[in-house]
């Protein structure tokens, strides 16, 4: 990774994406972040000169000019907030089609490293549709052939605000209380810690495919740039 790098990002309006973006903007090594968004980011996001918001329709990512989006790093934190509320077709579009289109765009824009927000249970032969969808997304972003691919696989995301009604409220209350008896990788993670981990990982040396789980998030979130995912 050079001393200075540029980032192309999609999903910056989500909880993890917003946390990742905040850390990138605070890093002196990050010279520019181009955030592809469907609507302007929240007013709480610092309006720094190195943040370039590009309004676009995600169905038309292939129409964007890669030469205008030059970058070394690509980050995708897109994902359905409530998968069970979506049809199978819409879930696939949100979690596979858009990330795949973004990956192709990023590759043409010069990205050598791509990070994807996936899920702990991603598995091509998983019993749950969501598991299979996430595995397909992981495979899709690797297709363009990046020098480095980082797959972040969190379990439950902890947020300050309850985002999805009573089921989310129960999960946010219950899972931290039983976290001690869960296998490490299934423990919940605050979105701020995960976002920082994604940003810090960009500045860590690495190559090839890496799978990152809860322990990696904590180490990277604490600033340990020697921590690495499983290959």
Q: Residue 108: which of 65, 160, 138 has the closest Cα?
A: 65
pLDDT of residue 214: 93
How high is the pLDDT of residue 80? 78
Lookup: tokens for 197 = 């981990």
pTM of the model: 0.88
Residue 216 has a CB neighbour count (10 Å cut-off) of 22
CA distances to 19, 32, 84, 192 from 221, in Å: 11, 21, 30, 9
What mean pLDDT do residues 165-183 have?
58
Q: How many CB atoms lie within 10 A of CB 169?
A: 12
> At 87, is the pLDDT very low, low, confident or very high (cuts 50, 70, 90)?
confident
Please report the DSSP string for 37-68 in residue order.
ESSPPPTTS---TTEEEEE--GGGGGGS-GGG
Mean pLDDT of the chain: 88
Write down the CATH superfamily of domain 5-221.
NAD(P)-binding Rossmann-like Domain (3.40.50.720)
Q: pLDDT tens digit string along 20-39? A: 999 999 999 999 999 999 99
pLDDT digits (tens, 9 = 90+) for 102-142: 999 999 999 999 999 999 999 999 999 989 999 999 999 99
Euclidean distance between CA atoms 191 and 106, whole angstroms = 24
pLDDT above 90: residue 143: yes
- What is the per-residue pLDDT for 180? 63
Q: What percent of the chain has pLDDT over 70?
A: 84
Residues 181-186 have a mean pLDDT of: 73
């Amino acid at each position: 990774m050079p001393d200075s790098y540029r980032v192309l990002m999609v999903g910056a309006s989500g909880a993890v994406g917003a946390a990742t973006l905040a850390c990138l903007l605070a890093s002196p090594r990050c010279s520019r972040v181009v955030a592809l968004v469907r609507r302007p980011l929240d007013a709480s996001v610092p309006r720094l000169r190195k943040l370039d918001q590009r309004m676009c329709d995600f169905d038309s990512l292939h129409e964007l000019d890669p030469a205008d989006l030059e970058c070394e790093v690509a980050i995708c934190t897109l994902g359905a907030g409530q998968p069970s509320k979506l049809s199978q077709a819409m879930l696939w579009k949100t979690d596979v089609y858009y990330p795949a289109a973004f990956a192709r765009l990023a590759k043409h824009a010069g990205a050598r490293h791509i990070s994807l927000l996936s899920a702990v249970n991603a598995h091509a032969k998983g019993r749950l549709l969501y598991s299979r969808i996430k595995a397909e997304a992981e495979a899709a972003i690797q297709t363009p052939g990046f020098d480095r691919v980082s797959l972040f696989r969190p379990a439950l995301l902890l947020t300050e605000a309850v985002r999805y009604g009573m089921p989310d409220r129960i999960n946010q209350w219950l899972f931290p209380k039983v976290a001690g008896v869960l296998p490490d990788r299934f423990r919940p993670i605050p979105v701020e810690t995960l976002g920082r981990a994604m940003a810090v990982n960009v500045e860590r040396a690495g190559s090839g495919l890496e799978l990152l789980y809860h322990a990696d998030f904590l180490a990277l979130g604490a600033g340990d740039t020697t921590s690495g995912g499983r290959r």
